[in-house]
Amino acid sequence: MDRTRLRVDFEILPGTRLPGIPVFRLRAMISNDSPEPAFYGVINILIDSAVTVFDTQELTSPHEIHEETLFGQVIKFKILQRIWSSQSGLPIWLSQPLPVSFNGILIGAPRIDTYHVIGWQVTSPKMPVKKGFYRLDSFGLAPLI
């Protein structure tokens, strides 16, 4: 039996400036690496709790803090969520990335002297929970292994 294999990739879009605060838009794109389409899914975007989120677009926030241990360090995340349904959008097809939020998530830029972690968690009826993490610093985004 084929299973969906969903994943999320991030990219930084050119941002705007709020008074005195450098900001940028983080775009999350969901993809399916399987020929089995995904008709439903739960997508959690995990934003390091130290990062200011100014605009979540159409994502909802369950106001919970999620914790992950990465490289021996506990990191706390804010959760932004989207419930995906083919009734309200398209199925997620093989090799056809779709935006999780259309205009991206407006967040504060990281300080030059530190980094933050941005992550994702996704599940669908035909797959176990998958997750991935990125390092976010003043140079951009890089996947964490």
SS3 per-residue string spanning 92-131: ECECCCEECCCCCEEEECCCCCCCEEEEEEEEECCEEEEE
* Number of neighbouring beta carbons within 10 Å of residue 100: 26
Q: What is the pLDDT of residue 90?
A: 87
Q: What is the pLDDT of residues 71-95, one digit of tens each?
A: 999 999 999 999 999 877 789 999 8
Instruction: State which residues of the chain have pLDDT below 50.
Output: none
Q: What is the pLDDT of residue 9?
A: 96
Quick one: fold of 6-138?
Answer: Immunoglobulin-like (2.60.40)
DSSP string of 37-57, one letter each residue: -B-EEEEEEEEETTS-EEE-T
Residue found by looking up tokens 């021996």 in the block:
72
Q: What is the pLDDT of residue 114?
A: 85
User: What is the model's pTM?
Assistant: 0.91
Q: What is the pLDDT of residue 20?
A: 67
Element spanning 54, H or E: strand 53-55
Please tell me the distance from the alpha carbon of residue 98 to that of residue 69, in angstroms, as a whole number.
29
